[in-house]
């Protein structure tokens, strides 16, 4: 799988999340600050989802046939704090999709 990059831009009344994958840029505007973003990789079904972890709303999804191992990597462009939580319970919207 090619690299997927996510950018976050705060504005006065909204927030922009920009997803860049295989040269295609997708913009998602939200009106609330997301304190937690969930990432769900369903390797066998070929789905990668980014979602609002509090409300269970999907921000971005891609389909990809995985043939090799997937290696997550996280980085901050500027100094700050990034907290990773693993082993979250599956959100209800995923259980029923």
User: Residue 35: exposed, middle, or buried by beta-carbon count in 10 A (0-12, 13-18, 19+)?
Assistant: exposed
Query: How many domains, the chain?
Result: 1
- In the chain (97 residues long), the average pLDDT of successive 10-residue segments reads 77 89 88 88 90 88 89 85 79 68
pLDDT score, position 92: 74
- Domain extent, residue 64, equals 5-94
By DSSP bridging, strand 37-42 and strand 47-52 are antiparallel
């Amino acid at each position: 799988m090619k690299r997927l990059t996510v950018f976050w831009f705060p504005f006065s009344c909204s927030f922009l999340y920009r997803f860049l994958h295989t040269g295609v840029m997708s913009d998602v505007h939200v009106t609330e600050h997301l304190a937690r973003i969930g990432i769900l990789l369903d390797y066998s079904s070929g789905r990668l989802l980014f979602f609002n972890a509090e409300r269970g709303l999907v921000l971005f999804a891609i389909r990809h046939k995985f043939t090799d191992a997937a290696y997550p990597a996280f980085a901050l462009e500027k100094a700050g704090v990034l907290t990773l939580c693993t082993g979250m319970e599956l959100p209800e919207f995923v259980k029923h999709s």
